[in-house]
Amino acid sequence: MKLAGLGDSNTWGYPFGPHHSWLQGVANKLSCQVFNHGINGECVYDMRLRVPAVAQDQPDAIIIMGGTNDAFEGIALAELQREYRAIIDELTVLTSCRILIGLPIPLNHKVEELLAKEYREWMKSFALEQKIEVIDFYSALLDSSTGGIRSEYNLDGVHPNQQGFERMAEEAVNTLLRKI
């Protein structure tokens, strides 16, 4: 299996790098080839511009995970929706691979978390409507008592630490295997 990840720093593996990302963890667990298209600091509108490059990898599955930087930029839900729809539409034209949406992880910043929550709620309903699978990275890292990232998975309130990336890899593997 060839797997591509399209996202931001939480896909790239910040600050450890792609070889320590959750995507690489999936590769290690499933013995598959991965293409990490995570770029630090990118919003969903930036990700959309890279869809042709992702499709050129000819993956069997693509996991899209964006929204964290959008929340910090204060991007309106309607704009995020437009960009996600455009990404899915373009991928559908360029490839016949399996598409999954990864829910953005919890944020320890209350204002941005409120917006990220709106994004996640929409992503879940959109995925259901489009029959797209969801990887629930959010619940996997959530500290239900604070609404942020569980301390054992937290690097800086925005990014997971190495244990957090490992937990994300487990969640992705569980979802990928459940639907094969």
pLDDT digits (tens, 9 = 90+) for 105-139: 999 999 999 999 999 999 999 999 999 999 999 99
- pTM for the full predicted model: 0.97
Would you say residue 180 has pLDDT above 60?
no
Whole-number pLDDT of residue 64: 98
Task: State pLDDT tens for residues 92-111.
Answer: 999 999 999 999 999 999 99
Preceding peptide of 15 cis, ω within 30°: yes
Backbone angles phi, psi at 6, to 5 degrees: -115, 120
The domains located in the chain, with CATH, are: 2-178 (3.40.50.1110)
Residue partners of 134: CB distance under 8 A and separation at least 6: 100, 101, 102, 103, 123, 124, 127, 175
Is residue 45 a contact partner of residue 79, using CB atoms and an 8 Å limit? yes
